[in-house]
Structure 1
Amino acid sequence: MYTYFTTLHIQTAVSQALCGREKGDSGMKHVLSVFVENQTGVLVRVVSMFSRREFNIDSLSVGVTERPEYSRITVVVQGDENLIEQMIKQLEKMPVVQAVQRLDEKNAVCRGMTLIKVRSDDTNRLDVLKMAELFRAHVVDVESSTLVFEITGSDDKVTAFLKLVKPYGIAEVIRTGLIALERGEHTIYEHCEEREYYGKNLL
């Protein structure tokens, strides 16, 4: 007989999943926002620099900014303090890099998006939907044997949700790289060499 979970059971499982993540991992991860000229081959040059120096990249995302001639690359990397400082210095030496901003969850809004296809039928669909509701995961596709969820947030949040729905069967998962913006009135333009120029042209 299939066991239906109450909201309390699911909330307890959520708490355990969040507390059960590996300790120490989050302390080794760093978010760098790299402001670059929007030119062909820039991403290849930046990634090649990481590769040559054997820097470990967890995720990478790139997109055009409010000024189409510039792009922002958000990189999540692992390493100790000395390694991160070395990484920033190497990036700042590149002519196409206008600024490098170091961010964390305390001073920045950090988000990533994940699409998760979970195997689900009439016997367990209600339980899966309850879990998704607690994580604010949105249903974006429904079929007779699967549900596709869209969830945004930190890696810890996504990992906890994946851990809970894993027993039902995860068919597919795809994640975007993390993106981040500093909280408050400060912007990456303050890190640019031509601060006055960028400050006058903020949208």
Structure 2
Amino acid sequence: MRHTLSVLVNDQPGVLTRVAGLFSRRGFNIDSLTVGPAEEQGLSRMTITMLGDEATLEQVMKQLHKLIDVIKVQDITNEPMVERELLLIKIAANPTVRAEVTGIVEPFRASVVDVGRNSMIIQATGNREKNDALIELLRPYGIKEIARTGTTALVRSQLAKIKV
């Protein structure tokens, strides 16, 4: 199963290395990892996606809590969340197929961000499944390069329940 963890850490040199090393030492694989400044100065938020069963997840969370610079660890897999990744994909596209490619990317709310003599770069944001689907539709044109950010996610706001 794919799990999504939100990890709040001190913004210090070496924290990313220690977190990645924890996974490596235990033989666990990080599926994706994004890191950026958090809402409070001096803190960073890591969004880590990993594959594993419940026992693996429990072990990872216990080990993360032991790291000095880790402030908070949340498994947000089953929480209502907003989850996105950025995809940049360069495809072979001569002038005769550009309109066709544009027609493919529009329903994905993706955009063409660069056009070369024989290529195009498309930018898309969305969840992993959406971006995977776009890649598969563009594959017949010839993929030259792909860059993906990995998942970043936040738990959705909880609406107050109103009793009637």
Which TM-score bucket, shorter chain as reference? over 0.9
State TM-score, norm by structure 2: 0.92
Aligned to 1:32: 5
- 1:59 aligned to 2:32? yes
Q: Percent identity?
A: 45
In the TM superposition, residue 168 of structure 1 has moved relative to its aligned partner by 0.6
- Among residues 133, 137, 147, which one is paired with 1:164 in the alignment? 137
Q: Which has the higher helix share?
A: 1
Aligned to 1:173: 146
- 1:91 aligned to 2:64? yes
More displaced stretch, 114-123 vs 160-169: 114-123
In structure 2, relative to structure 1, the CA distance for the partners of 1:106 and 1:185 (3 Å cut) is: closer
Q: Secondary structure at the match of 2:134?
A: helix
Structure 1 residues 1-203: aligned runs within 5 Å: 28-104=1-77, 107-185=80-158
Give the letter aligned to residue 51 of structure 2.
Q
Paired residues, number: 159
Aligned to 2:162: none
Q: Aligned partners of 2:65, 2:82: CA distance in 1, in Å?
A: 23
User: Which digits, 9 at most, give the CA deviation of each residue in 1:35-65, with x for residues without a partner?
Assistant: 0011111111111111000111111111111
> Does the CA contact (< 8 Å) of 2:79 and 2:155 recur in 1?
no
**Unpaired runs of 5+ in structure 2?**
160-164
Q: Please give the root-mean-square deviation of Cα atoms over the aligned residues, in Å.
A: 1.4
Q: Aligned partners of 1:40, 1:155: CA distance in 2, in Å?
A: 29
User: Which digits, 9 at most, give the CA deviation of each residue in 1:70-111, with x for residues without a partner?
Assistant: 011111100001110111111111121110011137511010
Moved over 6 A (4+): none
In structure 2, relative to structure 1, the CA distance for the partners of 1:165 and 1:137 (3 Å cut) is: same
Q: Secondary structure at the match of 2:121?
A: strand
Q: Which has the higher strand share?
A: 2
Q: Aligned partners of 1:44, 1:90: CA distance in 2, in Å?
A: 14
Give the letter aligned to residue 103 of structure 1.
I
